[in-house]
Structure 1
Amino acid sequence: MADQGRGSSTAWAPRRLQVSLAPVLREVPPEEWPSVLRAYIRRDGRASPRAAARAARYYIGVDADASHAELRRVAVYYPVFRIEEQ
């Protein structure tokens, strides 16, 4: 093993202190929760409308084309938070 102490050919530099700030979670007002759930159900990346319907039933307990009233009823079980940097 090569000596990396004083006088070696390897340069030494002090490490910089890296400070990472934790994100802050802010609760979205409850009246906006149903629209967030609808956006989640309809988000891009679903293989098909059938996959969206299956996910909506499995994760949220409603149909993919659920009414706003149905989403409002189940939204109390799914609080929504916005991730913000400090």
Structure 2
Amino acid sequence: MIELQRLRDVFRTALDLPAGAVVDELHYQDNEKWDSLAHMSLIAALEDEFSVMIDTEDVINMSSFAEAMRILGKYGVDFHE
């Protein structure tokens, strides 16, 4: 599950969360650090980390950690072992 750990790390880094922060249940604007500016930083970091280009509709729809997994799956990122 290396891809899943990479995703968690990207979320922690882009949202400036502590190293051990639990992000799997995170939702947009549940956390004060996940605002619109942080959202765009997160998208850019995800694109860099997973070598994908996320389209505008998916950027708008990425409202949680789980949704990020689903959307990245559309681009060929496999989070299952």
Q: When the two structures are superposed, what TM-score results if normalisation uses the length of structure 1?
A: 0.32
Higher relative contact order (CA 8 A, sep 6+): 1
Q: When the two structures are superposed, what TM-score results if normalisation uses the length of structure 2?
A: 0.34
Higher strand residue share:
1
Higher helix residue share:
2
